[in-house]
Chain A
Amino acid sequence: AQKITQTQPGMFVQEKEAVTLDCTYDTSDPSYGLFWYKQPSSGEMIFLIYQGSYDQQNATEGRYSLNFQKARKSANLVISASQLGDSAMYFCAMREGDNYGQNFVFGPGTRLSVLP
């Protein structure tokens, strides 16, 4: 079974608008971490934001925020005020277990295109 599901293969957003990229996950481990990575066309993987399973508040990093709904097992990425440079592939990932270098799996990704 897929541990990370990203149901939007592609998304379009107008420059300066906000966009939400969906991610649902599946785990029975009470301790886990959720991550979002950005991969521009250059191919590098850029870490954006992290949410721990025990964190009470949603994570935020600049224009990025994570809408964490634990009961629904969703961890959607919200990008506010989109910029042309945000056009890229976005991957949701999960690390199960504590911080002992446990299993780290990625979803299939969503390609975001920001329109001028």
Chain B
Amino acid sequence: EAGVAQSPRYKIIEKRQSVAFWCNPISGHATLYWYQQILGQGPKLLIQFQNNGVVDDSQLPKDRFSAERLKGVDSTLKIQPAKLEDSAVYLCASSLVSPLAIATGELFFGEGSRLTVL
């Protein structure tokens, strides 16, 4: 079974430039999360999708961050314009959700996209 795919793995940009990250979740996983992980800290939720609808984007800085999940499969996270404090690893995760499933609902993570803003 293929895991969560993310690209690019690394990106270096200058402040005020824009960047986009792509995520393809595990097939069949309805829920998709984007997390921001600053060095030495725990992942912080940016946005959560259920299929192609937004469940929670309360911590997404909407003046500069946007995300979409067209057709309820892959997703794109965009930052425009980037600030120095956006330097972080952006983690995408997906989970299997079902009221009938006995799965624990754990998150499956991609390898992350490391952003450096100069």
Contact = CB atoms under 8 A, between A and B. Distances in A.
Interface of A: 4, 33, 35, 43-45, 47, 50, 52, 91, 93, 95, 98-101, 103-109
Contacts of B93: 45
Interface residues of B, number: 31
A50 B103 CA distance: 10
Given A47-B107, A91-B42, A106-B43, A99 B97 contact: yes
Contact of B30 (A35, A43, A101): A101
A100 B111 CA distance: 24
Contacts of A105: 45
Contacts, number: 65
A106 B93 CA distance: 13
A104 B30 contact: no
16 contacts: A35-B104, A35-B107, A43-B89, A99-B99, A99-B101, A100-B97, A101-B30, A101-B50, A101-B55, A101-B97, A103-B48, A104-B48, A104-B95, A106-B35, A106-B44, A108-B41
- Give 8 closest A-B pairs by Cβ, nearest first: A101-B31, A45-B109, A101-B97, A106-B42, A50-B104, A99-B105, A47-B106, A108-B42
B26 interface: no
B33 interface: yes
Nearest to A34: B104
Nearest to B33: A104
A33 B106 CA distance: 9
A95 B105 contact: yes
Interface in B62-108: 89, 91, 93, 95, 97-99, 101, 103-108
Contacts of A106: 35, 42-44
